[in-house]
Chains A and B, each alone.
Chain A
């Protein structure tokens, strides 16, 4: 079953002469375990598409199914619950709360959803451990490096039983090795069954995805086909010593 399905999604801002079609007739399906990158230049509509997929914005027309359930049939409360329980978000600037420790930042979505503090804290520690950053749990965001802050942000996005991970330029201003580390973490979450969508203008980040969808002027214009074996790149298979 597809974890995320967008059908003929359109988002229009303004009316008449000031009308802007940010997203037009987009179809997108993401299965559990799949990492899909949406690649396009600034202003191409990719961030709007991600907000719609995460139920943060409503489309002007079209359908969204998350975990097989149509979002259009949900009340505002049901959508809020879906966001708290099933969807994790990773933002370019991490969006960690400066007054909370790493562990408190990660346990917050669980606590907001009514999980008792002790259980939420245990869930947060598990997520931090899976990202090898548990030893920094009691540190505040300004005591962490950029790479560490992004690990905490990813831990917060996958804590509990979140099945859909949505990331907007997740490597932020990190250098390419730290960007690789971020994508490895997202890929590891996918291997555990999470469906992930990463929007980016960066081809190196996008190249981690199983499928890259190209968006231009709000429309999906193309997508990659599953690549052949990487060994075909080389005159002979790489030595693994």
Chain B
């Protein structure tokens, strides 16, 4: 999560105090990601050092300073918004590692391991869904955050489902031994 760029986005609306930025950041992210005021000022100081924001600095103490975005700050914000978030290499996902590890452990039913995680994720999804049950009391930021979390959890269930199907198929049809050397495929990412 880029607090730095989120603060630039809030400052693009006009000059603001540090405390106000914290409140608006939390409101924008529907209070799902609380932000420490110290983190706000440290980030603002770095942004100022890099010339992306400026403050009037009149009162000396950060809490009374008004911050405004500079033209280089606006350029940086636009660049960040349009730059795809780097998702390579794949994150080292503990769930995936756990299922892969379960395959190696004698006496463990991997389907049971898959199911334990599937149930947990669906239970989490029930809680998130409960939050959006009453859509009359539902603001846009909050709806987007809940949708994002439900989509993320849903993708885990889908992966667990496909893992379950693959495991079932593999238990019926043992893997065929490849005659030649194993082809190692690498994911090459063009920068």
Q: Which of A201, A203, A229, A234 has the most CB of B within 10 A?
A: A203
- Are A230's CB and B130's CB within 8 A? yes
Contact of A233 among B119, B121, B128, B164 (CB under 8 A): B128
Whole-angstrom distance from the CB of A146 to the nearest CB of chain B? 19
Selected contact of A224 from candidates B30, B122, B128, B157, CB within 8 Å: B122
Q: A207-B122, A225-B123 are in contact. Are A236 and B31 (CB under 8 A)?
A: yes
Q: How far is the CB of B108 from chain A (nearest CB, A)?
A: 16
Q: Which B residues, 148 to 186, have Cβ-Cβ distances below 8 Å to chain A? A: 150, 153-154, 157-158, 161, 164-165
Known A214-B119, A234-B31; judge A227-B130 contact (CB<8 A): yes
B142 adjacent to chain A (CB < 8 Å): yes
B56 located at the interface, meaning its Cβ lies under 8 Å from any Cβ of chain A in the complex: no
**B5 in the interface (beta carbon within 8 A):** no
Residue A66 CB within 8 A of the other chain: no
CB of A228 within 8 Å of the partner chain: yes
Q: A221 and B115 in contact (CB under 8 A), knowing A184-B135, A241-B139?
A: yes
Give the interface of B toward A (CB within 8 A).
Answer: 26-27, 30-34, 111, 115, 118-119, 121-133, 135, 137, 139, 142, 147, 150, 153-154, 157-158, 161, 164-165
B119 touches A222 (CB 8 A): yes
Residue of B nearest to A187 (CB): B133
A39 and B123 CA atoms in complex are apart in Å by 13
Query: With contacts A203-B153, A204-B150 known, is A209 near B32, CB below 8 A?
Result: no
**Contacts beyond the supplied A208-B133, A227-B124, A233-B127: 18 A-B pairs with Cβ under 8 Å:** A176-B147, A180-B132, A207-B150, A208-B126, A212-B122, A214-B118, A222-B115, A224-B119, A227-B126, A233-B124, A234-B31, A234-B32, A236-B34, A238-B131, A238-B142, A239-B139, A240-B137, A240-B139
Selected A-B contacts with CB under 8 Å, 29 pairs: A41-B164, A176-B147, A184-B133, A187-B133, A203-B122, A204-B154, A207-B122, A207-B129, A214-B118, A221-B115, A222-B118, A223-B119, A224-B123, A227-B123, A227-B124, A227-B126, A228-B127, A230-B127, A232-B127, A233-B127, A233-B128, A233-B131, A235-B31, A236-B34, A239-B30, A239-B142, A240-B137, A241-B27, A241-B139
1/0 per residue, CB under 8 A from B, across A181-220: the answer is 0001001000000000000010110111100101010000
